[in-house]
Structure 1
Amino acid sequence: MTAPVPAPLPTRDLHPASAADAPWWRDAVIYQIYPRSWADGDGDGVGDLPGTTARLEYLRDLGVDAVWLSPFYRSPHNDGGYDVSDHRDVDPLFGSIADADALITRAHELGLRVVVDLVPNHTSWEHEWFRAALAAAPGSPERDRYMFRDGLGEDGELPPTDWLSNFGGGAWTRVTEPDGTPGQWYLHLFDPSQPDLNWQNPQVRADFEGILRFWLDRGVDGFRVDVAHGLVKKEGLPNYDKHPGGLLEVTHEAPYWDQDGVHEIYRAWRELLDSYGVPERIMCAEAWVAPADRLARYVRPDEFHQAFNFDFLETPWLAEPLRDVIAKSLAASDSVGAPATWVLSNHDVLRHATRFALPQDAARPNGIGAQDPQPDAELGLRRARAATALMLALPGGAYVYQGEELGLPEHTSLPDAVRQDPTFMRTGGLERGRDGCRVPMPWTKGARALGFNTTGAAWLPQPQSYADLAVDVQTGVERSTLEMYRSLIALRKERALGRGALAEVEGLGADVLGYLVTAPDGERTLVIANLSTTPVELPEGATAIAASGILDGRQVPTDTTVWATLG
């Protein structure tokens, strides 16, 4: 007797398939390394480039396509290396230019592409340009490379505008002139040690094009561009009577975010990258921009290749908001022919294994301290695994932050005395800051510094919970988070999910997300994420091939995502 043919699932088309031979970056899985916390080759307690190179085979085995390295440039490290004093040199803390060359070479040997950070909104105050600006007079060419302005008030004692820093406090600092008198003010949207550049100055534009060429000529495959939405400030620098509230503004009305003038800069950069030919060198925008149609402007065909989907990252573990952000993100990126670029964690936000353990109807905190309410680690990990399985099934690119493949939580009990994030300092401890997501990787349970190095030194202490999550504990262990990531990434490639068409499956329930991914060759994958409080049954004809949790027969438990074939 012939088995009955399952009824077709009711679906709503959201996104068309990409071409089977689309460029590598349209569906790449890219792994972010925070170099000071990845692997320490010389034992000084800070990760470095030789340590990173020695661990690259781990990333090949994980199955990712590329690695993105946070800044390793020369810097006084007032903001974790995002205060760059020389973009064309490696800080001795991390190694040398030769070490960078060796890393790029080894990565390419292993089939990994290399993306490096570019920090164009500001420099370090130790940059030779800023030192020259301080030594020069108001109105000089040296000062014009930055945002110097006269102060308000009778003696210029008041800042030029009411703008506030993203790290707390005012966004302007007054300098002492060479003759010892109080002088002009300079703009810093972040720490005072990070003066903003003046992107109307042609010298600034020319220098950064030279920086791009410097690293492209050394073989890098692309750039992640820091604060990509902040380079251009509104003409006249008008007051803005709102607190920045972090990098994300609801609109581009903030006079220092998402100004239209940024786009001509990126068109010039894209032309430069394209001149290097095939394989394509890419740019990914760190652009905290909303709504989605404003973000889509950054990934028009002649600008960035990718832009992080921070709307997705900021969405709580709730079905309706997730359903909405996925649909709107795909519609916006499709409108300009770009891929969506999904991300759940990075070096600036609470790790999602902790974020999803918090009340989902409250704003995300900027760090958690030992005196704060502690999250439910088991709940957070279960939801994080489910969220990852959902993300890796979606068409487009995806970024993985170091350690999330181990299920690492935020370090939520760091002593205040060891914190280094300038946000913590400038808010007087009111915001704990980002140190908790930057703690060194655990490689080996029982080893010194959990295998981060052989000496036991670590620039930030690791929590006890990391020992049982170490790489060696999870490798080869069925259903471990590490093996889940490996299998999902492999299946994602095998079934071409990143290049597939996406349709929403309807009728599964308000708190259940369902998607049908159809690869360019027609192969179909059903994805179901159960955010409801009760189990749901797989549709007739569906056979599970991967899951973030353990299924009970055909029942998908709460906070679980499953991938299935269709009969």
Structure 2
Amino acid sequence: MRLPILLLLVATAASASDLDWWKTALIYQIYPRSFKDSNGDGTGDLNGITEKLPYLHDTGIDAIWLSPIYRSPNYDSGYDITDYRSIQEEYGTMEDFERLLNVSRSLGIRVVLDFVPNHTGNESEWFNRSIAGEAPYNEYYVWADGLNATYDNGTVYTKPPSNWISNFRKSAWEFNEVRGQYYLHQFVIGQPDLNYRSNYVQEAMKNVLRFWLDKGVSGFRVDAVNKLYEADPNNYGGVYPDEPLSGAANAGPDDYEYLSHIYTENLLETYDVVYSWRDVLDEYITSQGEYKIMMTEAYAALQLMIRYYGTSTRNGSIPFNFSFLGDINKNSTAWEIKTVIDRWMTYMPSGRVANWVIGNHDQSRVANRQGVDRIDAMNMLALILPGVTITYQGEEIGMEDGYVSWNDTQDPQACNTDDPINYYLHSRDPNRTPYQWDSTAHAGFSNTTGSTWLPVADNYLTLNLAAQIANPKSHYHFYKDVVTNRKSPAIQEGDLDTRALSESILVVTRLLPGEAGMLGVVNLASEAQTIDLTSLRLLPSDLEVVASGVNCALEKNATLTKSSIPVSGHCALLFRSGVVSYGGAASTHYLSYPLILLALASYTIIRTNFS
């Protein structure tokens, strides 16, 4: 009789794992064009990703998030989609994707796709049928008549429906000769905005989700979600209202920053659409026995981002936490970093899951934003804080932005500046250069005899994965050691305590009754310091180094006491302590006093936001 009981316990554990995997997932963002080229054409592809899955498995990755792989003319690196149900030919075939999905599953790695709901490409069948006025596609996009205006000489002309500006500069409206109207594009001209005031559009996009969920993907990252809605002209006398000037310094009339975007982003209707997508994903939890994650991208005020989590009656998404990207820089002190961490944990609704994003395809790399000396510190913090961690490809080895000349520039955000001198200030290409696998030609990314789609960064001969695997004192080995310990009960479930002991010393503690504690220590200064942590009374005295950054004198397996911890300059260390006992009751889970205050603050804020 014991065998059936054992099988039942195993099945129950597997089920719990499939339902809870996302709560502490380490998700690795892959930019397919730049990850691995398998066929020598200079562009990364699906088979290249499949080839490198064992590396990601060995590193400890739980899931991969793929930037768009759908059919697209690539006016904006695949974010201008012409067919949501087809694979872009340069990446491979649907069979290649299904193979990637199967190999990933066999390695215990889940696959998350990019979902781009705000716009399609202007070469899509939907848009062409909308231009022709064919129902129901005639209402799939945001169309408007132009406005009559008069030049100083009395000549009458037609101008765009409003003064709205594209994220990529200049007017957000483009005239279509065939339809005789303007269409809205909040990004490049080739990306017409979908009309979410149409029920047909809402159902069509839900069916896109269902198509890929039927394939077995584990969820989606949702692009530019706060752009879904614009002001309803019916509420403004039948016209689209002009947006007010922002007063931003150094912003001209063609620049996005020139206006305050009160009518084109963060409209309240957006949240209900996100909640409805969550309902679609929830349909698959029972049928596929796996929780489907949804993460939303919105660069917005914290209070607006937090609403994506949901309400007391509706589940939502995990809103990407960009505070490490926008609120922390290479000059930030330990006090400031602690404040950034605590703010998210304070505002986050009770019972929800936190997340930490330290890099992506739209931002300069950690080494450039935070400084090379802070690579290990920022990686460690993202990995030991509660919830989901997002690592952008290459951050685990400390890749740096590459140089991309004006002639090699692909990013429309840079090209649209029409400025061959200052284009780099707007370009995202430097952080999209090919992954640096080794010191062979093209950094092992491609065996092409021609050029890669973007040039490989010049430092690939010394900064590459193979060199770091061979060197036990490298960013990669530190990252991998932290990931290994991320699986510990304390980091998976333990209480969080953050303390800035000085301007340069930050301490993050994760404690769980009855389990070994975990302690992260960061020294942001160049001078070595010795710190005393006896004030952390719940932390056992004896500590063991389990991960040691590249600038640290202390090595792995070193043991010491919490009363005297030597920390080298620009060093990040992860320690494991003895078993934690809270007041002698190892089975009882208490919050420390600072966390009680955070919990109360969170409760108050959420009641304010959603009551």
> Is the TM value for this pair above 0.5?
yes
CA offsets, 1:358-377, max 9 Å, x none? xxxxxxxxxxxxxxxxxxxx
Query: What do the CA deviations read for 1:4-53 (whole angstroms, capped 9, x no partner)?
Result: xxxxxxxxxxxxxxx99981111100001101111111111111111111
1:310 and 1:343 in contact (8 A); partners too: yes
How far apart in 1 are the matches of 2:255 and 2:297?
Answer: 10
Aligned residue for 2:604? Answer: none
State the shift of 1:253 in Å.
6.4
Partner residue of 1:517? 510
% same residue: 35
Match of 2:321 in 1: 309
Residue 168 of structure 1 aligns to a residue whose secondary structure is: coil
Write the distance in 2 (CA, Å) between the matches of 1:59 and 1:32. 11
Partner Cα distance (1:224, 1:135) in 2: 32
Could you say which residue in structure 2 is the equivalent of 1:282? 293
SS in structure 2 of the partner of residue 23 of structure 1: helix
Larger Rg: 1 or 2?
A: 2
**Mapped partners of 1:520, 1:146: distance in 2:** 55
Establish whether residue 535 from structure 1 lines up as the match of residue 528 from structure 2: yes
Aligned-partner SS, 2:372 = helix
TM-score (norm 1): 0.85
Q: Deviations over 1:178-229 (max 9, x none)?
A: 6xxxx32111111000011000111111111111110001010000000111
8 Å contact 1:74–1:90 — kept in the other structure?
yes
Letter in 2 for 1:383: R
CA contact (8 A) 1:389 1:548 kept: no
Report the counterpart of residue 605 of structure 2 in structure 1: none
Alignment correspondent of 1:373: none
1:343 offset after TM fit, Å? 0.9
Contact 1:512 1:529 in 2 (8 A): yes
Q: Secondary structure at the match of 1:275?
A: helix
Deviations 1:72-96 (A, max 9, x none): 1000000000000000000111111
| 1:171 and 1:189 in contact (8 A); partners too | yes
Q: Distance in 2 between matches of 1:324 and 1:439?
A: 33
1:247 CA displacement = 13
Contact 1:26 1:499 in 2 (8 A): no
Q: Hey, what does 1:159 align to over in structure 2?
A: 160
- When structure 1 is superposed on structure 2, of 308-317 and 183-192 the one drifting more is 308-317
Q: What residue in structure 1 maps to residue 548 of structure 2?
A: 547
User: 1:347 and 2:340 equivalent?
Assistant: no
Q: 2:406 aligns with which of 416, 434, 452?
A: 416
Cα deviation digits, residues 524-563 of structure 1 (max 9, x gap): 2222222245332243544433232343464223332222
The farther-off stretch of 415-424 and 511-520 is: 511-520
Aligned to 1:38: 35
Equivalence for 2:140: 145
1:424-477 per-position Cα deviation (integer Å, ceiling 9, x unaligned): 11112344211111111122212x322112224411111220221222212142
The answer to whether residue 576 in structure 2 is matched with residue 565 in structure 1 is yes
| Whole-Å separation in 2 of the counterparts to 1:20 and 1:194 | 39
1:281-304 Cα deviation digits (max 9, x unpaired): 11111121212x321111126343
Give the SS at the match of 2:73: coil
Q: Give 1:455's aligned residue.
A: 448
Counterpart among 205, 210, 230 of residue 208 in structure 1: 205
Q: Which residue of 1 aligns with 2:304?
A: 294
Letter in 2 for 1:396: G
Structure 1 residues 547, 271: CA separation in 2 closer, same or farther (over 3 Å shift)? same
| Structure 2 CA distance for aligned equivalents of residues 229 and 500 of structure 1 | 33
Q: 1:20 to 1:116 in 2, by over 3 A?
A: closer
Whether the 8 Å CA contact 2:490–2:515 is kept in 1: the answer is no
Match of 1:326 in 2: 341
Task: Answer whether contact 1:263 1:303 (CA < 8 A) is retained.
Answer: no
The whole-number CA distance in structure 2 between the counterparts of 1:80 and 1:552 is 43
Using the alignment, how far apart are the partners of 2:256 and 2:105 within structure 1?
A: 35
For residues 164 and 463 of structure 1, the distance between their equivalents in structure 2, rounded to whole angstroms, comes to 33
1:337 deviates by 2.1
Counterpart position of 1:396: 387
Aligned partners of 1:248 and 1:288 also within 8 Å:
no
Which residue number in structure 2 is paired with residue 226 of structure 1? 223
- Residue of structure 2 in register with 1:484 after alignment: 478
Work out the CA distance in 2 between the residues paired with 1:256 and 1:337.
31
C-alpha separation between the residues in 2 aligned to 1:218 and 1:156? 51
User: 2 CA distance for matches of 1:125 and 1:270?
Assistant: 28
8 Å CA contact retained: 2:275, 2:310 = no
- What is the alpha-carbon distance in structure 1 between the residues aligned to residue 260 and residue 575 of structure 2? 41
Does residue 265 of structure 1 match 2:273?
A: yes
* Alpha-carbon distance in 2 for matches of 1:480, 1:288: 33
Partner of 1:407: 398
Q: Which of structures 1 and 2 has the larger relative contact order (alpha carbons within 8 angstroms, sep 6+)? A: 1
Q: Quote the Cα distance in structure 2 between the aligned partners of 1:232 and 1:498.
A: 37
CA contact (8 A) 1:224 1:284 kept: yes
Selected match of 2:48 from 51, 66, 69: 51
CA RMSD of superposed structures (Å): 2.5
Q: Secondary structure at the match of 1:465?
A: helix
TM-score by length of 2: 0.80
Alpha carbons of structure 1 residues 194 and 218: separation in structure 2 relative to 1, 3 Å:
same
Aligned to 1:385: 376
Partner of 1:4: none
Gap regions ≥5 residues in structure 2: 1-15, 150-155, 234-239, 534-540, 555-564, 579-611
Distance (whole Å) between structure 2 residues aligned to residue 208 and residue 145 of structure 1:
11
Instruction: Provide the aligned length of Structure 1 versus Structure 2.
Output: 514
Distance 1:347 1:526, change over 3 A: same
Q: Contact 1:439–1:460 (CA<8 Å) still a contact in 2?
A: yes
SS in 2 for 1:93: helix
What CA distance in whole angstroms lies between the structure 2 residues aligned with 1:256 and 1:150? Answer: 18
Contact in 2 for aligned 1:305/1:338 (Cα 8 Å) = no
Paired position in structure 2 for 1:74 = 71
Letter in 2 for 1:423: Q
- The aligned residue for residue 238 of structure 1 is 241
- CA gap 1:105/1:156 in 2 versus in 1, 3 angstroms: farther
CA spacing shift, 1:76–1:303, aligned 2, 3 Å:
farther
Asked if structure 2 preserves the Cα contact closer than 8 Å seen for 1:169 and 1:427, the reply is no
Q: CA deviation digits over 1:464-502, x for unaligned, max 9? A: 202212222121421111111111111111354143211
Q: Is the 8 A contact 2:244 2:260 kept in 1?
A: no
* Pairing of 1:105-124 with structure 2 (within 5 A): 105-124=102-121
Instruction: Answer yes or no: is 1:256 the counterpart of 2:256.
Output: no
Distance change (3 Å), C-alpha of 1:230 and 1:119: same
Query: Contact 2:132 / 2:138 at 8 angstroms: preserved in 1?
Result: no
**What is the deviation of 1:254?**
2.3
- Whether the 8 Å CA contact 2:551–2:569 is kept in 1: the answer is no
Distance 2:128 2:27 in 1: 36
